[in-house]
Structure 1
Amino acid sequence: MPHAYNGMAARDLQGAVWRKSRYSNSQGSCVEFARLPGGEVAMRNSRFPEGPVLVYTPAEIEAMILGVKDGEFDDLMGH
């Protein structure tokens, strides 16, 4: 797998296994994640499966997940 970098095309991450939440809607509007061999986590928009890809460190993903679980981003949902 080539070196992963922010903004790269998802198709260049050969062998990446993309996952999305079971809460994603059926129209394919989903955020998808893939763990990379070096431990980083790639993220893409399922509406644009070719990319661009954003790449995060495990610590960055952990901070985001903890913030989501804690409700820090609830205001972004527009409810």
Structure 2
Amino acid sequence: MQFHISSHHTPNNCAVHRGDGTPPVTDWRARCKEVGVEFVAGGSCPPMHSGFMLVESDDMAKLQTLMQPVIGYWDVVITPVTAI
């Protein structure tokens, strides 16, 4: 199943300023591969601190694992989608 993942953060909670020791994810394609999620497409708008990914997975738990480094810190929305 395909999912659209959108994320947004403010300049103040940008990963480069995170002080709790959690390393920022700098390569979401590699992060997807690491947790067993297929990366289809993605992009970002750095001035707006927003990003998106289109991914495929049959396991919602893998999506939670994928986004764990930013859940609770960024606004993350995971939406199931179908082709139109």
TM-score by length of 1: 0.27
**Relative CO higher for 1 or 2, CA cutoff 8 Å, sep ≥ 6?**
2
Larger helix share, 1 or 2: 2
Larger strand share, 1 or 2: 2
TM-score by length of 2: 0.26
